Structure 1
C-alpha cells in the first residue's frame, strides 16, 4: 500500500471509530434511552436526562415509588426544577412534578462496567436550586460530562423539594418536615438499586454536594435509613452543624407561613396548609429582601432540616456513629463568608467607602444574639486582637469576611471532621480549604475563593468552555477532579486512575492537616491547625456560654 493510501485509510478509521454506548437501559420503571455525546477519540459520555426516581410527591408527604411507564422513555431533556421562588424573589417557577435525576456515563472502546458512582446534591439555602441549574454558556453548571470523562466515574445529579414544600415543619407528627431530605434519600436508594444497569458499582457510591447540598450530604451520612446505600461522602462548604443548616423553632415559622396564606394557627392549620395553592405557599416562603440590613442575612434563611426523630433521629452531634464506615472528605472555601458579609456590611466591597469598626461589633452582636452582649464583646475582642490602634481598611474588611467564614462554614466543618474521625471504624477523613482567587472582577483585589466558586472547577467548566478561562483555571480544575474521583474510587484522594500534584494526608482525631487547593498545589500546600485560635473559640469557649 502506498504512503498516501495508508494515510487515507488511517484517516477513514479515525473518522468512523467511535466509543461504545449503552443504548436503551432497563430500569425498575421501564426502559430509558439517553444520548451519546462524543468527548474525544474513542471517548464519549452517555447522557440520560429526566429519569423519574419517585412519583409526583403528595403535598407535605414522603416520596413514593414511581409507577413506571410503557415503551422506552426518551431521557434527553432536563425536567422542570421543583417549585420555588425565583432568585430575585419576584415570582415562582418550577413544578411539583420534579423528582427526576440525570446520569452521565463515560464510555471507551467497550461498554463501561463496575464504575464508581458520584451522586451530586445541589445547594441553594434549602430555598432554591435545581439539578440542571444556571446554564453557563449553553451548559448546566452541573453538567457531569467532563467529570465523568476525566475521572472515569458515573456522575448522577438529583432533584429534591425546597422552600415551603420541602422543609415546612411543625416539629411534631402532624407536619414532621424534611421532605426535601426524604427526596434525596429516595434518589440515593434508586441509584443503589438501578445503577448497575448503567455500568455502575452499587457498592461504591459517593455523595457530594455544595452549600445546602453539602449539609444535606452530611445529614444523609448521619441517617440510619441510608445504611449500606453509599460508601463515601464529600461536603463542599456546609455541614449539619452550620448555623443555617438546622431549623430549631420550626413551628414558629410554620405559623408565620400559615398567617401569610390565610390559614388558622390552631389544630386546623396543617389541614388548611395542605389545601392551599402550592404557588401561594411557595411565595409565602420567600426571603423578605426589604428586611436586609436589619441584622445578619443568616437570620433571613429560615428553611432548613429539623430533628424529626425519624430520618434525623437526634441532634447531629449524636449521630456520627452512623457514619463510622463512610469515608468523608470535607472542606470550605477560604472566603466562603464573603457572599454573606457583602450583604451584611456592603462597604467591604467599596474601595472608597470605609468600614467602621462599630459595624464589625454590630455584626458580631447579630450573629451571637442568642448568647447576649457578653458574647458579642468577647467575640469582638477575639477578632480585633491584632488590629492595633489604627487598623487599615483592608484588615478591617478582611476581618468581616473571616468572621462570617469562620462562623457559618469553616468552624462547623472542622467540628464535623473531628466528629467523623473520632467515631470512625476504619473510614478515612480528609480536610481541605479551596483558596483559588475569585474570577469576579469587581470584587476587592484581596479576594480569594467566595461561596460557590469551587463548583465550576469540580464540574470541569474550564475544559468544557475553554475560551472563558485561563490555563491556571484548567490546572486547578484538573487537580480537583483527580482528587475527588480518586476518593470516590478508593476512599483515598491520592490513589486511583488520576495523578495528583501532591500527597494529601488524612485528618485524624489528634492531627488535623488540611490541603490548600489552588492551581499551584505542592508539598507546602498541606497546612496544620488552620485558624486554631478561632476554631477553639467558637467550638469551646463560645459554645460553653449560656444561652439567654
Structure 2
C-alpha cells in the first residue's frame, strides 16, 4: 500500500491507522505491551489484547513516568514529557511505504541514564532517516527508574523490567514489521548512552538472540551493570524512603506514582552524593543476564552479530559544562586520578593532549575516558577477538555553542544520526551551522551496516585498532587512542559499575 490520507497497516493484534507525511508514513503510539499498572507494575510485560476495527496510531503515547530531566531542558530546550503509567508501553514506526519491499529495520533504544527519555522525543524523529535511506525506523518507550530497574524479591525478571520491555518490543518487530514494509530477518538495534548499554545487554542475553542481526552502540559499554547483591541493597534503601521494604510488593504496587517519583528524586541525590551517577542500572540477575555483557562477549557467549561501537571525543563535557553542579578544581582532578600509579604524571599527560587545561577541563577528559572511551575499547577488542565483525568510530565534531565549551560532548551525535540538524533543538545544542555532510556520512555508515551487515569503513582489529574519526572531514586512522591509553590505569582498575549512562 502506498502513502494515502489514512495509511493502514496490519499487525498480529489488529489494524492500525497512521499518518501520511509529505514523503513517507508514521505510525505513532502502537501498544506492544499491556499497561504496566496494578499487578503488572514491576512485572514483566504482557502482550496486549487484540482489538477489532482500525486502531488510530496518529499520536504518540505518553512517556513513562520519570523525574524531571534537566538535561533535556538544557541540551535541547524542550518541554517536559507528558507521562503516565497507563498507555506508556508503545512504539512508533516510520516507513517509506506500507508494501512488500522488505526494507532494513533500525530499532532505536533511547538514552537517559535509565531514568529519563521517550521514543517520542522529537530529537529521535525517524522520518528523514527512514525516507532518505529507504529503511524502517522504530523507536520505543520502556520503563525507567524504579519502575523499570528496582530489584524486588519474588518478582520474575525483577530489576530488569525495562530490558524486558525492550525485548517485548523486539518480539513485536519480529512478528509485525513486515506489515510496515520492513524485513524481520534484517533488524539492527542501535542506541545511545543507556540505550547503548541496553544494546550491549541484549548482546549478552540469550533470550534476545536471533531477534536482531546487527548492532550499533553509541557512547555505551558492556560494563555498566549491577550485581544482584548491589541491586538488592539499593532496593532496600529505596523502599525505606517509601516507609516499606522490598518484600512488601502489594504496598509498592499501591504507592501513587507521584510518591514513587519523589522518592526516586531523593534516591538520585543520595547516589550522586556517593559518586554513583546512575541510581538504576541493568542487573546481573541470573535470569536475563548471567554475567556482564563484557564478560559474556569476552568468553565468546555474546551474540555473533556485526557491531559498530564508538564514543564522542569529549563525552563528559555534557556533565561538567551543561548540567548544574559545583565548579571542579585541582583537588577533584587529583581525586579522580588517585587510582593511577602516578597521578601527577597522568595529569601532565592529559594537559599535554588537551587544548583546554584548567582542572575542570582535564577532569572532563579523564572522566570521559573512564566512562566511555576505555570501556568501548575493551568491548571492541572482546567482540573482535571472538571472531565477529567489528567497526569502531570516534565522533569529533565540536559544538560551537557556549564558546565551544561543550566540545564533542555526550549526545551531540544524536541529531546527526537522525539528520535533524535544522531543528531548533539541534541548533541549540550543535550550533546553527552544523555540517550536513557529517550527518550524511554517519547515516551512510549506519545504514550500510543495516543493509548489508558490513560498515563502509575498514574494520577494527585488536592489532591496528582502526577507528573512523567522524568530523567535518572524516577518515579512518590506526589507534588514535595510543597516547591517551598510556594514561589510563590498569584495565582491572577501570570498573564502571555505577557509572553514568546519561
- TM over 0.5, yes or no? yes
Aligned to 1:453: 412
Aligned to 2:135: 153
Tell me how far apart the structure 2 counterparts of residues 61 and 174 of structure 1 sit (CA, whole Å): 7
Q: Secondary structure at the match of 1:405?
A: helix
Aligned to 1:37: 21
Q: Is 1:66 aligned to 2:54, yes or no?
A: no
Q: Secondary structure at the match of 1:85?
A: coil
Aligned to 1:438: 399
Aligned to 2:244: 263
Asked if the contact 1:161–1:183 (Cα under 8 Å) also holds between the matched residues in 2, the reply is: yes
Asked if the contact 1:86–1:93 (Cα under 8 Å) also holds between the matched residues in 2, the reply is: no
Aligned to 2:331: 358
Q: Normalised by the size of structure 2, how large is the TM-score?
A: 0.86
Larger CA Rg, structure 1 vs 2 = 1
Q: How far off is 1:397 after superposition? A: 3.9
Q: Is 1:410 aligned to 2:410, yes or no?
A: no
> Structure 1: which 5+ runs fail to align?
1-17, 39-43, 134-139, 349-354, 366-374, 495-503
Aligned ranges for residues 340-359 of structure 1 at < 5 Å?
Answer: 340-342=319-321, 346-347=326-327, 355=329, 357-359=330-332
Tell me how far apart the structure 2 counterparts of residues 27 and 203 of structure 1 sit (CA, whole Å): 17
Q: Secondary structure at the match of 1:55?
A: coil
Pair 239,288 (structure 1): closer, same or farther in 2 beyond 3 Å? same
Aligned to 2:110: 122
Tell me how far apart the structure 1 counterparts of residues 147 and 355 of structure 2 sit (CA, whole Å): 47
Q: Normalised by the size of structure 1, how large is the TM-score?
A: 0.79
Pair 315,409 (structure 1): closer, same or farther in 2 beyond 3 Å? same
Pair 247,212 (structure 1): closer, same or farther in 2 beyond 3 Å? farther
Tell me how far apart the structure 2 counterparts of residues 99 and 290 of structure 1 sit (CA, whole Å): 27
Aligned to 1:528: 479
Q: Is 1:315 aligned to 2:292, yes or no?
A: yes
Asked if the contact 2:123–2:425 (Cα under 8 Å) also holds between the matched residues in 1, the reply is: no
Q: Secondary structure at the match of 1:507?
A: coil
Q: How far off is 1:488 after superposition? A: 0.7
Q: How far off is 1:142 after superposition? A: 0.8
1:420 corresponds to which of 383, 393, 402: 383
Q: How far off is 1:361 after superposition? A: 1.1
Aligned to 1:95: 84
Q: How far off is 1:531 after superposition? A: 4.0
Asked if the contact 2:238–2:267 (Cα under 8 Å) also holds between the matched residues in 1, the reply is: no
Tell me how far apart the structure 2 counterparts of residues 538 and 67 of structure 1 sit (CA, whole Å): 53
Q: Secondary structure at the match of 1:319?
A: helix
Asked if the contact 1:295–1:344 (Cα under 8 Å) also holds between the matched residues in 2, the reply is: no
Tell me how far apart the structure 2 counterparts of residues 172 and 411 of structure 1 sit (CA, whole Å): 36
1:253 corresponds to which of 206, 210, 234: 234
Pair 85,65 (structure 1): closer, same or farther in 2 beyond 3 Å? same
Q: Secondary structure at the match of 2:402?
A: coil
1:54 corresponds to which of 20, 33, 36: 33
Pair 363,538 (structure 1): closer, same or farther in 2 beyond 3 Å? closer
Q: How far off is 1:439 after superposition? A: 4.1
| 1:282-305 deviation digits (Å, cap 9, x = unpaired) | 321125676698564xx1421011
Tell me how many residue pairs correspond in the alignment: 476
Asked if the contact 2:31–2:90 (Cα under 8 Å) also holds between the matched residues in 1, the reply is: yes
> Structure 2: which 5+ runs fail to align?
74-79, 496-502
Tell me how far apart the structure 1 counterparts of residues 483 and 18 of structure 2 sit (CA, whole Å): 49
Aligned to 2:438: 476
Asked if the contact 1:214–1:237 (Cα under 8 Å) also holds between the matched residues in 2, the reply is: yes
Tell me how far apart the structure 2 counterparts of residues 183 and 289 of structure 1 sit (CA, whole Å): 23
Q: How far off is 1:261 after superposition? A: 0.9
Q: How far off is 1:448 after superposition? A: 2.2
Pair 465,120 (structure 1): closer, same or farther in 2 beyond 3 Å? same
Aligned to 2:462: 509
Q: How far off is 1:398 after superposition? A: 3.3
Asked if the contact 2:95–2:180 (Cα under 8 Å) also holds between the matched residues in 1, the reply is: yes
Q: Is 1:77 aligned to 2:54, yes or no?
A: no
